[in-house]
Amino acid sequence: MSYIQSLDNLISAFRALPGVGYKTAQRYAYSILNMKEDDVKTFASNMLEAKQKIRFCSECGNFSENEVCEHCLKNNAEVICVVAEPKDVVALEKLKNFNGAYHVLHGCINPLEHKSPNDIRIKELVARVQKHKTKEVIMATNPDVPGDTTAYYIAELLKPFGVKVTRIAQGVSMGTDLEYADEVTLNRAMELRNDL
C-alpha cells in the first residue's frame, strides 16, 4: 500500500483484471501515471464506450454493437459453427474460407461448474437450425471433456431435425514434434487415423 489514495484506488481497479496480482497492478498504475493525460482520457473513454455499446447479438450470441451482429447480417445460417466463447469466434475468423454463421454457447456443459444444458445457449441453437433450415452444424468447442460432452449432447439433440452435425478434427497439431506431443493427443491421433 502506498499512502496516496488515488494511486491505491487505481491499483485496486487493475487487480480486478484476470490474473493480475498486486505487483502487476502497481506496474500498470505507474504506466498510467507516465502516459500523457490525453492518452489516459482516451483509455478511460474506450473502456466506457466498449462496455456501454457492446451487447450480445440476438442471433448468434457473439459480442455486437447492434441488435444483430454484422456477421449474422452478412452470412446465412446454412452452415453454423458452434463455439463456447466469443474469443473462439475471433480465432476462427482468421480462417478466410469459412463463410457460414457462428453460434456462441457461452460455456459448455460442465457438471463441475454446475453448468447444465439449460445454462448455455442450446435452445437458441435449436431454434436457429429450425428457422434457417440449416444443413450442417460444425461443433468447434474445445477438445476437452466439457467441449466433447457438449458436442455429443448437441449432436444427439439435433438428430430429429435431419441436420448433419460434425466435429472439428482432433489429432497432432501441424508442425508438432511427435516427441513433445502429449499422450492423450497421440492416443486420439492414433484412434482417429485416416486412410491414405
Rule CB under 8 A: which residues touch a second copy? Answer: 2-7, 9-10, 12-13, 16-19, 26-33, 35, 37, 39-54, 63-65, 69-71, 86-87, 89-90, 93
146 membership: H or E segment, kind and range: helix 145-158
> Which one, 42 or 130, has the nearer CB to a second copy?
42
Cα(189)–Cα(171) distance, rounded to whole angstroms? Answer: 4
> Which one, 54 or 190, has the nearer CB to a second copy?
54
Compute the least distance from the CB of residue 45 to a second copy, in Å. Answer: 7
Compute the least distance from the CB of residue 184 to a second copy, in Å. Answer: 24
Compute the least distance from the CB of residue 72 to a second copy, in Å. Answer: 12
> Which one, 33 or 145, has the nearer CB to a second copy?
33
Cα angle 51, 54, 60; round to 5:
145
> Which one, 18 or 175, has the nearer CB to a second copy?
18
Helices 122-132 and 145-158, packing angle to 10 deg: 40
Residue among 100, 95, 188 nearest 143 (CA):
188
Compute the least distance from the CB of residue 67 to a second copy, in Å. Answer: 14
Q: Which three cell numbers stand for residue 69?
A: 451482429
103, 82 in Cβ contact below 8 A?
yes
103 membership: H or E segment, kind and range: strand 101-104
Which positions ≥6 away from 188 have C-beta within 8 Å?
143, 170, 171
> Which one, 29 or 165, has the nearer CB to a second copy?
29
Compute the least distance from the CB of residue 183 to a second copy, in Å. Answer: 27
